[in-house]
Amino acid sequence: MMTQVSACNASLQFPCPHRTSSFPKQRFSRRQLFVDGVSSLCIRSESAPNGNNSSSNHVGSPQSSSPSFFRSGNEGDMNEVIRKKVAFATRRTLLSSLFIYYSWYHPSRYLSAYALGDSSVTVEQVTPAVLPSGPLFPTEERIAQLFEKNTYSVVNIFDVTLRPQLNVTGVVEIPEGNGSGVVWDKQGHIVTNYHVIGNSLSRNPSPGQVVARVNILASDGVQKNFEGKLVGADRAKDLAVLKVEAPEELLKPVSVGQSSSLKVGQQCLAIGNPFGFDHTLTVGVLSGLNRDIFSQTGVTIGGGIQTDAAINPGNSGGPLLDSRGNLIGINTAIFTQTGTSAGVGFAIPSATVTKIVPQLIQLGKVIRVGLNLVAAPDPVANQLNVRNGALILQIPGNSSASKAGLQPTTRGFAGNIILGDIIIAVDEKPE
């Protein structure tokens, strides 16, 4: 069975030739669309409902009481598709309207959504049982206790020269001067990274000057805000010490552990304030030891601890703890190409921290005593047949080693290597 659809011209002056009745002459605009009883749409079917071919059965004619668009001899009359007679100016708009009409209203293509309910059931019958959480596993309980204990020893630090700003979307932008720190003692000394307050330190503040705002968590869960005054800073090790005038009962010093006995694979925990969030915990393992840390201050720190515990901006200056809750490092850097944690974080070992921080508290700076020379690495010394001691490679001109008369390794006129002095002992202790 075939169905033909035809439309009259855009400008009508005579009745449609396919109508069974004539109508007064009308002239319509090309852009005008109308929906009324007198339509310029002409739809005819080549087969009558009874199966006889007829061209006089017109959908939309006055004689048709139930117009239809599709007919099937096997299934009977199809559902009514077009309920009103629509006249369009062009054949293109006619076909487009039929497509939209068919997509929107045909029951096989679109079904309305209805709110269904079942009054035979109660809310209690469709509410699942909520099971109690029960006790934590021993490992979970231990980690939770370590976090609850040490979270009071971790503070939030803001560089006073960098303020959080509210952007147009309503999101608070936390500047890079946001970081973490640890309570060192009951006197109010706070240890953090040099680069956390680096913007303030770049202005060469004097000791005792306020360079940061320090938030300390009280036992009631409220953050107490204090002024952080500069005590001392060491750019070479990316460490700084602040002091706050806080009540002694509010200060919970961190327990310091030994980093010299660490093993790769042992568990560690990092606590801090990443992205300005309040006290978060990440757990991982020690991935490596004696790593070179390329700090944000532009210096290289030796002997670093590598961990896969997630460390993000804001964790800097926070503690890296062992499974007993002792401080084994100060989180200071991450290796990433996106600015977020990639599972490669670094911490300054506690052995370095315990050497630098007491000097900063006592003197406000670090005094390093050394010969100021460059020794040959072991592989180079072995190639030069130096098995014992430290072979001197380079000595700066005005260094104490040069003044002491030590000689570096040089090359002769023929390009041969002339070995420098070899240090075999310091204070009668073998090197």
195 belongs to the catalytic site: yes
d(CA 158, CA 178): 5
**Span 149-363: which CATH code?**
2.40.10.120
So what's the pLDDT on residue 340? 63
pLDDT string in tens for the chain (431-residue length): 444 444 444 444 444 444 444 444 444 444 444 444 444 444 443 444 444 444 444 444 444 444 444 444 444 444 454 444 444 445 556 556 665 655 555 555 445 666 677 788 888 888 999 988 889 899 999 999 999 999 999 999 988 876 555 555 554 444 455 889 999 999 999 999 999 998 889 889 999 999 999 999 998 888 899 999 999 999 989 999 999 999 999 999 999 999 988 999 999 999 988 766 778 899 999 999 988 888 777 778 888 999 988 887 788 899 999 999 999 999 987 776 666 666 788 999 999 999 999 999 999 999 877 777 888 888 888 888 888 888 888 887 777 788 888 888 988 888 888 889 988 887 777 76
Task: Please check whether residue 297 is in contact with residue 238, taking contact to mean a CB–CB distance below 8 angstroms.
Answer: yes
The Cβ of residue 242 has, within 10 Å, a number of other Cβ atoms equal to 27
d(CA 35, CA 140): 72
d(CA 244, CA 251): 10
Q: Which of 159, 238, 308, 421 is catalytic?
A: 238
Instruction: Please name the residue that has the structure tokens 């079917």.
Output: 45
Task: Please check whether residue 161 is in contact with residue 199, taking contact to mean a CB–CB distance below 8 angstroms.
Answer: yes
Q: What is the DSSP string of 276-324?
A: G-SSEEEEEEEEEEEEEEE-TTS-EEEEEEEE-S---TT-TT-EEEETT
So what's the pLDDT on residue 165? 52
So what's the pLDDT on residue 142? 93
Total residues belonging to the chain? 431
pLDDT digits (tens, 9 = 90+) for 363-375: 999 987 777 788 8
The 10 Å CB-count burial string (b at 16+, else e) for 195-215 is: bbbbbbbeeebeeeeebbbbb
**Start-end of CATH 2.30.42.10 domains in the chain:** 374-430
**Start-end of CATH 2.40.10.120 domains in the chain:** 149-363
Q: Which CATH architecture has domain 374-430?
A: Roll (2.30)
Enter the DSSP assignment of 53. Answer: B
Q: Which of 220, 255, 274 is nearest to 150 (CA)?
A: 255
Q: Which of 39, 195, 308, 341 is catalytic?
A: 195
Non-local (6+) Cβ contacts of 112 within 8 A are none
> Is the pTM higher than 0.85?
no
Q: Which of 200, 316, 341, 350 is catalytic?
A: 316
So what's the pLDDT on residue 254? 94
Instruction: Please name the residue that has the structure tokens 């007679």.
Output: 85
Non-local (6+) Cβ contacts of 62 within 8 A are 20, 21
d(CA 76, CA 65): 17
So what's the pLDDT on residue 164? 52
Instruction: Please name the residue that has the structure tokens 């009054």.
Output: 119
Q: What is the dihedral of CA 199, 352, 293, 228, to 10 degrees?
A: -20
So what's the pLDDT on residue 71? 45
d(CA 219, CA 388): 56
Beta bridge mates, 240: 192, 233
d(CA 152, CA 221): 9
